[in-house]
Amino acid sequence: MQRFEELKEQLIAWGMNFGYTREQIIDMIPNLPLQDYALMAVEKFLHALPVTFIVLLFVLYMLLEYVFDSSVSFRVVPTNNSSCDSLEEESGSGSSLQKRIDVQIRKYIVIKVGVSILTGVLIGLTLALLHCRLAVM
């Protein structure tokens, strides 16, 4: 904030060289709520973090391909500590944990793409009905 005040004083001094009074120059300077803008920027950044994290997880999951072996799956093995059950490979079982994760991620991506396309089409149609220029772009 101190730097902004210094810049403001320099701007006032520069304007006074052209014959304006200090009050006239201050009236010309817009009153910008810089703290509100800073808070808004931080809020937007913090809102984008979880979405960015999910996108990065999906990208990493898709980039790190795996070879699916249908003969190997996982089962939950109870341990002495009931809150800490572990996964153990099991041969010959139907679906694996990795396959279920893959199916759920693909389903999520398909739903997100479908909702995004539907939203775009509905907004485009609404704007076209309202005769907005460049509505269907």
pLDDT tens for the chain, 137 residues long, are 688 788 888 988 998 999 989 888 888 877 767 778 888 899 999 989 988 888 888 778 777 765 555 554 545 555 565 555 444 544 444 468 878 877 888 888 889 889 999 999 999 899 889 888 877 66
Domain assignment present for residue 136? The answer is no
Identify the pLDDT of residue 80.
Answer: 60
Identify the pLDDT of residue 83.
Answer: 52
Domain assignment present for residue 104? The answer is no
Identify the pLDDT of residue 115.
Answer: 93
**From CA 73, how far away is CA 90, in angstroms rounded?**
5
Identify the pLDDT of residue 116.
Answer: 92
Domain assignment present for residue 49? The answer is yes
121 and 110 Cβ atoms separated by less than 8 Å: no
Identify the pLDDT of residue 119.
Answer: 94
Residues 52-58: contacts with CB within 8 Å, 24+ apart?
A: 58/105, 58/109
Domain assignment present for residue 112? The answer is no
Q: Which two tokens stand for residue 59?
A: 């990208």
Domain assignment present for residue 84? The answer is yes
Identify the pLDDT of residue 121.
Answer: 92
Identify the pLDDT of residue 32.
Answer: 67
Identify the pLDDT of residue 43.
Answer: 92
91 and 69 Cβ atoms separated by less than 8 Å: no
- Number of domains forming the structure of the chain: 1
Domain assignment present for residue 122? The answer is no
**From CA 69, how far away is CA 25, in angstroms rounded?**
74
| Single-letter amino acid, residue 78 | P
Torsion region of 69: left, alpha or beta (phi above 0 gives left; psi -120 to 50 gives alpha): beta
